Amino acid sequence: MSKKVIVTGAGLSGLSAAAQLAIRGFEVEVYEKNDIPGGRARHFKSDGFTFDMGPTWYWFPEIFENFFRKFGYSTIDFYKLDRLNPAYRIFYGVNDCIDVPAEDKELFELFETIEKGSSKKLKKFLKSAYNNYQFALKEIIYKPGYGVGNYLSWFSITRALKHNFFSSYSRYIKSLFKENRLQRILEFPITSLGGSPQKAPCFYNLMNYVDLKLGTWYPQGGIYKIVEAILKLLDGLQVSVHLNSPVENYDIIDNKVTGIYTRGKNFHADYFVASADYYHAEQLLAKECRNYSDKYWDKKKLSPSALIYFLGVNKKLDNLQHHNLFYDASFDDHLKDLYDHLKWPEAPVFYVSCCSKTDKKAAPAGMENLVIIIPVTPGLEDTGKIKEHYYDLVTNRLEHITQQNIRNSIVYKKSYAQSDFITDYNAFQGNAYGLANTLKQSGFLKPKIRNRHLTNMFYTGQLTLPGPGMPSALVSGEIAASEIDKLHRKSMKIT
Ligand SMILES: Cc1cc2nc3c(=O)[nH]c(=O)nc-3n(C[C@H](O)[C@H](O)[C@H](O)COP(=O)(O)OP(=O)(O)OC[C@H]3O[C@@H](n4cnc5c(N)ncnc54)[C@H](O)[C@@H]3O)c2cc1C
């Protein structure tokens, strides 16, 4: 009996699903609309600069390691990882910044200098964050999330009640640490997940363990090294990735998908995995075959989209680390604009990656590679005028806060925003990071990994389980592959 799978989309989740299926003995083909694989984790090269287009933070090293181990490899077989120290810099104003250290001793000293007695609280806080991290790895992240029953072991119920998992993360942090600077350090990893700290459950403090204990890493050569590594795996597993091949439609007979159409051609398989944005993937199906209606999606809270500037600078810059957060504006006001007023931010906080500080290949000698990211509301119109307004605003602030001239030295400039996410990835409302991580959109309440009308159709990627981020995308692909494998074995009566 044949067991062929077609995967739509060659982002990290689709590539992960393809590799995990191939190693389980399935024949797999991937169809990708763009001319380069990697999805949001793509890169591009121009004028001697190499820009990672999406992710810049390499967190959860254990999940990457686990992924490659399944194929008999380690990350070191594909790329060299460096732990960044300091992990990142937070700017609060001119000559006013904190470097978040990689070493425990320095971290606790830093907290103590800012707020007396806080290092002791941090130690206790990180212990609970560690427990939540372990719990998430064991009981949540790798689960297919079909229903609440998936998570209801006796252990999980008692833990949830004992540790007050579901109260507001922000309130929890504020009850422990009074200093605004410390609150910013601890809230940042939650926002990186695409959510407001006020709305996120305090269980997400596991992200503080990931940030402050497991550390911020960087694969030499750039984030795209991860994509290249999986492509090498796929090559060894005889999986073909067809580029410039947008899936336009699915063929359906009797509650089963039988094939896809791309560029007028029809290809058949036994199982199908859609790793393109969930909403878009469902638009390729007849209405009655979709898991969710437009009304369902309209009610969903999305995490932010991103207004991005890729900049090449023809000199070395001072006062910047590899990762830099600019909290010299009101974070709370920015969050309100993002999630409540649903408008362009008046005075945004923003992030600057300067990966050429640690990666010589990212920019020509003596130059810098800058990526500026402003979290913005999805679904807004991003005109050229708006992009120029924010370009002036953030580059002026960057110059002022780091006390140097930058704008006159910019030799390469490209902007990227909501409409580009739609054009390039068919992203629902131009989202960058999927759904916001609110309690109502967590775990089994996320869009389901399996289509309930079509017996052989599955979804993977950042809009389903476990959520946004590269590690989640790898895990999501694994969950989809494992569910297909289980279904196939059941249908073949293989134990
Ligand atoms: C600006 C930005 C910064 C980020 N920063 C980080 C970070 O620092 N660390 C981190 O871990 N994560 C980060 N993320 C999140 C991370 O990049 C994503 O969660 C992850 O890469 C999503 O992978 P995916 O496979 O779910 O989706 P995608 O990468 O979007 O893959 C889906 C693929 O499907 C393709 N596709 C769409 N429609 C079709 C079709 N009809 N036919 C064929 N193919 C189709 C798309 O072209 C795409 O290649 C960031 C994301 C962005 C955008």
The answer, yes or no, to whether any atom of ligand 1 lies below 6 A from the CB of 323, is no
Distance CA 341, CA 350 (A): 18
Output DSSP code: residue 356: G
Cα 449 to middle of ligand 1, angstroms: 17
How far apart are alpha carbons 86 and 457 in whole angstroms?
45
Q: What are phi and psi of 28, to 5 degrees?
A: -125, 140
Residue type, 293: S
pLDDT at site 282? 97
Q: Give residues with Cβ within 8 angstroms of 376, minimum separation 6.
A: 304, 305, 306, 307, 338, 344, 345, 348, 382, 417, 418
pLDDT in tens, 130-180: 999 998 898 889 888 766 555 555 455 556 555 556 678 889 999 999 999
pLDDT tens for each residue of 353-405: 999 999 999 999 999 999 999 999 999 999 999 999 999 999 999 999 999 99
Domain residue limits, the chain = 4-80+221-299+437-492, 104-214, 302-425
> Given a cut of 70, is residue 125 above it in pLDDT?
yes
| pLDDT band at 443; cut points 50, 70, 90 | confident
Q: CATH 3.40.630.30: does it fit domain 4-80+221-299+437-492? A: no
Which residue has tokens 């991580």? 437
373: left (phi over 0), alpha (psi -120 to 50) or beta: beta
- The residues facing 322 across adjacent strands are none
Q: How confident is the model at residue 199 (pLDDT cuts 50, 70, 90)?
A: confident
For residue 345, give the nearest of 372, 306, 310 by alpha carbon. Answer: 306
User: How far is ligand 1, taken at its centre, from the CA of residue 426, in Å?
Assistant: 10
Contact, 289 vs 454, CB < 8 A? yes
Q: Is the CB of 349 under 6 A from ligand 1?
A: no
- Residue with the smallest CA separation from ligand 1 atom 19 is 469
Nearest atom, ligand 1, residue 56 CA: 8
What's the pTM? Answer: 0.96
DSSP class of residue 97 equals E
Instruction: Sort 106 into a burial class: Cβ within 10 Å, 0-12 / 13-18 / 19+.
Output: middle
